[in-house]
Amino acid sequence: MGAPPAPALQPPLPHTVLYGLFALPLAFAALPLYVQWPAHAAGTWALPLGWVGLLLLAVRVLDAFVDPWLGARVDGLFARSARRAWGAAGAAAAAIALGMAGLFFAPPALRGEPHALLAWAAAALVLTSLGYSLAMVTHQAWAVRLGGGTAEQARWVGARETLALAGVLVASVLPSMAGWAVTVALLAGLLIAGWLTLARVLPREAAPAVIAGPAAAGGSEPCAAPSRSPWLDAGFRRLMAVVLASGLASAIPASLVLFYVRDVLQAAGAAEGWLLGLYFASAALGMPLWVRAVRRHGLVRPWLASMGLAIASFAGAALLGAGDLPLFALVCLVSGLALGAELVVPPALLAALIRRHRAEHAAPMRTQAGAGPRGIEGLWFGWWNFTAKLTLAAAAGLALPLVQALGYAPGVGDANSLTALAICYALVPCAVKALAAALVWRWRISLPDAQYSR
């Protein structure tokens, strides 16, 4: 008989916070990078909006396709030592800080030179985006290598995503209150602090232990080494299909929410900010509840419950009209609570898939000379981020043309226009989220969840 499994170790709260702190400045950087910088480039630098849009599209496509390559490099660093991976995270943090400074503070000599400013912006965007991707993949793989079962991974991921939401909240209000000089300086300080604290929770030097499969446990020949490509794993493909559908259901209303608030609810200005803040704050405050639910009920059931909450809340949004701001605040509160599970459960499921993939193969991954086993966490999370980024791009590419084709025009208050917007903002995401829930239910037995493994 094989050795009994080691008892699960519950990560202490201070350790989860030390691990998660690096996510705060990463999320802090993401919001200006994707939301606030385009307006700055068009307003302060007088760059044509079309140029800015094309530049962002090109950099985002490059960024998405480079993630799997970066993930493979991260696996190689972890195979040599955790310290090397930590050093790469520090280099990525430095790239983010320098790139963000370049994006908001161009040299005075370039002012009035649109082509030179565009080249400067392109270089700063590439530097920031590549640094962000490297830091993100390293941080995600870090949690898997810290080990633990489903509940432990949910705590690592929950800490990371809660602090990431805190970073989003800070980034959403600080620039308008303190200006970009203070914002970029604070970002640099938080990146340094988060990187230094990450060294306090270094994972084991070798990749997590490979659990022998049935053949190996019985003394037979070991199975073949696990494949490096996640797309050869049926569980990964199924999880990606669910994440794609669920991500679209969340990203479509994100692309339309400002139009909905302004034209359907007839509210704008400060209302836009506090409604978004309520949504993200609800997600952050609800995160510990979802982590506790995962510990008691596994991964699948809480995820299905969150999808039901999201569908119920957005279905109600289709019935609102001018002046229904308090009711929409309730929609933001409930849908934000559902978002908490979306941030915790899918990454924890991916970590469980990686563990299961290893458990089905007795032979370790190929090693490098003088190095430990080469893991797969970075590569798998690289493809994960690739899918997530393409999902965001696809949501904008689908939602805006669809709502226009159905008859919506910004600022037009006739019934047909508002109905088209309400359908695309509320009902289409409900249908897509229901599809995601149906896929989870259909594949629940094959997902790595202890509740369905008996």
Evaluate whether 15-206 and 230-454 have a shared fold. yes
The tokens for 284 are: 């952050």
Q: Which residue has the higher pLDDT, 219 or 96?
A: 96
Can you give the pLDDT at residue 221?
39
* Cβ count near 245 (within 10 Å): 20
Q: Pick the most confident of 77-81, 109-113, 223-227.
A: 77-81
Q: Pick the most confident of 115-119, 359-363, 399-403.
A: 115-119
Contact assessment for residue 17 and residue 162, using Cβ atoms and an 8 Å cutoff: no
Taking all residues of the chain, what is their mean pLDDT, rounded to a whole number?
Answer: 82
Cα–Cα dist 130/69, whole Å:
11
Whole-prediction pTM:
0.74
Contact assessment for residue 142 and residue 77, using Cβ atoms and an 8 Å cutoff: no
Cα–Cα dist 52/41, whole Å:
7
Q: Pick the most confident of 10-14, 37-41, 347-351, 398-402.
A: 347-351
Could you write out the DSSP letters of every residue in 136-163? HHHHHHHHHHH---HHHHHHHHHHHHHH
Position 234 pLDDT exceeds 60:
yes
Measured in whole angstroms, the distance separating CA 209 from the mean position of its chain's CA atoms is 27
Can you give the pLDDT at residue 191?
96
Query: Mapping DSSP to helix (H, G, I), strand (E, B) and coil, where does residue 446 land?
Result: coil
Position 30 pLDDT exceeds 80:
yes
- At position 166, the amino acid (one-letter code) is A
Can you give the pLDDT at residue 361?
60
Please state the rounded mean pLDDT for residues 283-294.
89
The tokens for 427 are: 């009902």
Cα–Cα dist 42/50, whole Å:
9
Can you give the pLDDT at residue 396?
65
In what helix (H) or strand (E) does residue 87 lie, and over which residues does it extend?
Answer: helix 82-104
The rounded percent of the chain whose pLDDT value lies above 70 is: 85
Can you give the pLDDT at residue 385?
85
Query: Measured on CA atoms in the order 425, 427, 428, 434, is the torsion positive or negative?
Result: positive
Q: Pick the most confident of 33-37, 50-54, 106-110, 188-192.
A: 188-192
Cβ-in-10-Å burial (0-12, 13-18, 19+) of 411 comes to exposed
Position 373 pLDDT exceeds 80:
no
Please state the rounded mean pLDDT for residues 51-57.
78
pLDDT, tens digit (0-9, with 9 covering 90-100), for 307-332? 999 999 999 898 888 888 899 999 99
Cα–Cα dist 284/250, whole Å:
16
Can you give the pLDDT at residue 323?
85
Domain boundary assignment for the chain:
15-206, 230-454
Please state the rounded mean pLDDT for residues 411-424.
84
pLDDT, tens digit (0-9, with 9 covering 90-100), for 126-151? 999 999 999 999 999 999 888 777 77
At the topology level, CATH places domain 15-206 in Growth Hormone; Chain: A; (1.20.1250)
Can you give the pLDDT at residue 216?
35
Q: Which residue has the higher pLDDT, 365 or 316?
A: 316
Q: Which residues contact 10 (CB under 8 A, 6 or more apart)?
A: 148, 151, 152, 155
The tokens for 365 are: 């991954």
Contact assessment for residue 25 and residue 167, using Cβ atoms and an 8 Å cutoff: yes
Contact assessment for residue 52 and residue 42, using Cβ atoms and an 8 Å cutoff: yes
At the topology level, CATH places domain 230-454 in Growth Hormone; Chain: A; (1.20.1250)
Closest CA to 330 of 250, 265, 251, 415: 265
